[in-house]
């Protein structure tokens, strides 16, 4: 995976289908959105935001589909996902920005946790759903809140400018490619 970071924008490229395809994703903070305009995030604005980027990024932009866009929305973590026998999972419970690529991963963790809780306390004829759902909520809310907050932080870090950009670049430059100390908590079992 290759990531180009810039002020208010970034471009990610990685191979798919055993290297037969290259996925390219461009993300930018929309000036039109910040101005309150109704139409924002379109191809013209993408071109404007990335106009001063390096040649590699400009070449990468050429492979983007221009007829689709995926606006990013963010929400602070919420403390409860259960109401009676109804439980939220995945993005419904904890939508997160894509900077740690954890949306689907956290939904899978939710399902694994919920299945474990449903089978942990056998109840005559059925699972003890009230207890299972409350335990699922208790177990998962802190972790997913941390992932949501961390994803937001990484997005902010990727898009900084000025002195913060220089510091970020130096920190990234000095770390080893296999150094994951800032995210070990996320990937360790």
Q: Catalytic amino acids?
A: 14
Between CA 61 and CA 25 the distance in angstroms is 8
C-beta neighbour count of 167 within 10 angstroms: 12
Residue 31 near residue 49, CB atoms below 8 Å:
yes
The helix (run of H) or strand (run of E) holding residue 169 is helix 162-174
Q: In terms of DSSP H, where are the helices of 23-161? A: 31-34, 43-50, 55-61, 90-93, 103-120, 129-158
Query: Under DSSP, is residue 122 helix (H, G, I), strand (E, B) or coil?
Result: strand
H/E element, 178: none
In 3D space, the residue among 91, 49, 51, 47 whose CA is nearest the CA of residue 72 turns out to be 91
Cα–Cα distance for residue pair 181/100, rounded to 1 Å: 14
């Amino acid at each position: 995976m290759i990531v180009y970071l810039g002020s208010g924008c970034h471009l990610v490229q990685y191979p798919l289908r055993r290297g037969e395809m290259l996925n390219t994703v461009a993300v930018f903070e929309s000036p039109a959105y910040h101005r309150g305009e109704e139409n924002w995030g379109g191809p013209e604005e993408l071109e404007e935001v990335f106009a001063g980027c390096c040649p590699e990024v400009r070449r990468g932009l050429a492979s983007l589909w221009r007829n689709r866009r995926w606006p990013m929305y963010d929400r602070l973590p919420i403390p409860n996902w259960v109401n009676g026998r109804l439980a939220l999972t995945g993005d419904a419970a904890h939508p997160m920005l894509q900077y740690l690529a954890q949306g689907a991963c956290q939904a899978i963790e939710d399902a694994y946790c919920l299945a474990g809780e449903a089978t942990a306390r056998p109840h005559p004829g059925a699972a003890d759903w009230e207890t299972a759902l409350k335990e699922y909520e208790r177990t998962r809310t802190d972790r997913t809140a941390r992932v949501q907050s961390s994803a937001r932080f990484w997005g902010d870090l990727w898009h900084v400018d000025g002195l913060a950009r220089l510091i970020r670049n130096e920190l990234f430059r000095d770390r080893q490619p296999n150094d994951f100390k800032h995210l070990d908590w996320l990937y360790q079992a």
